[in-house]
Amino acid sequence: MVIGTDDLPADLRGALEGYRRHLAGERHVSPNTVRAYVGDLTELFAHLGRRGVTAADEVTIADLRDWLAAQQRAGASRGTLGRRASAVRGFFAWARRDGLLTTDPSLRLASPKAVRTLPAILDQTQAAALMDEARLRAAEQPGPLGVRDVAILEMLYGSGLRVSELCGLNTESLDGDRRLVLVHGKGNKDRMVPAGGPALAAVERWLARRPEVATSLSGQALFLGARGGRIDPRVVRRLVHRHLGLVTGAPDLGPHGLRHAMATHLLEGGADLRSVQEMLGHASLATTQIYTHVTADRLQQAFQQAHPRA
């Protein structure tokens, strides 16, 4: 059964709404993260309500641990448990600072240690084949959308953009002279990201065809959907899956897979970790370090296959 905030006591509904406003308005958390955190907290209070705990100031550390244990028994992954523990700590810390609570019961709530998994990676040959296939398809299509698709793929891989960042680009976001693109990223933070020659050339070809799609709804959006509005992330995900399906042996990845590939290929080419962190817009260097694990894994595989004393 899906539990909504309307099923909670009025005081808890008000507290969750206040926390929702805090996340969106003060911390500038993405709508998807806000939705996930509020959903986690709604489940927590529904769980505790069935055990007679109906107010935030009644919650104890034992209650929180009991809820996470129930989540684990239900099959939640370590990553999901970690996110839910983070949502709980964030809410109670905010409630304590805002004067809704006198104590924070989540101070000693630990997160399960996440298991780092190496993402499937598009290798450099497959990345080149992806762009070749996209250009071939664009040449076979009479309209401008194939040209747009090539530009999207080149920007996702060439600059390592998140799909939301790509969809948010405007025509003035590009600085072709300096080969940079202004990206509006997570946490309402802007950053300048390098753009390669092939990506910029592909975008220029798209801009020449953009008027064929543009309508009064287009505004300054760089990439447009078939009806002229700003392109939807779901459209981008579908086109990435579709084009990757044309590349023999390529893993079935979405836009984030092209971001992974860009970071991995940069490190394989000798880029330093801090520069890659800045390009990707990671708040923490630890997030970027997953890509050092990927490259180290590949080095280990090469060593095992080639060294006579492996």
Give catalytic residues, as residue numbers: 162, 186, 256, 259, 282, 291
Asked if 88 and 39 count as a contact pair (C-beta separation under 8 A), the reply is: no
Dist CA 14 CA 168 (whole Å) = 32
Find all residues with CB under 8 Å of 15, minimum gap 6, and list them: 56, 91, 95, 100
φ and ψ at residue 144, rounded to 5 degrees: -85, -10
Answer yes or no: are the C-beta atoms of 194 and 205 closer than 8 Å.
no
183 vs 164: CA distance, rounded Å:
10
Residue 282, classified by CB atoms within 10 Å of its CB into exposed (0-12), middle (13-18) or buried (19+), is: middle
Q: Which of 233, 265, 256, 304 is nearest to 124 (CA)?
A: 265
| Element (DSSP H or E) covering residue 154 | helix 145-159
**Closest by Cα among 49, 42, 53, 43 to 17:** 42
Can you name the residues that pair with 182 across neighbouring β-strands? 192
DSSP string, 206-259: HHHHGGGT--TT-TTBSSB-TTSSBPPHHHHHHHHHHHHTTSTT-----HHHHH
The closest of 263, 292, 258 to 275, measured between CA atoms, is: 263
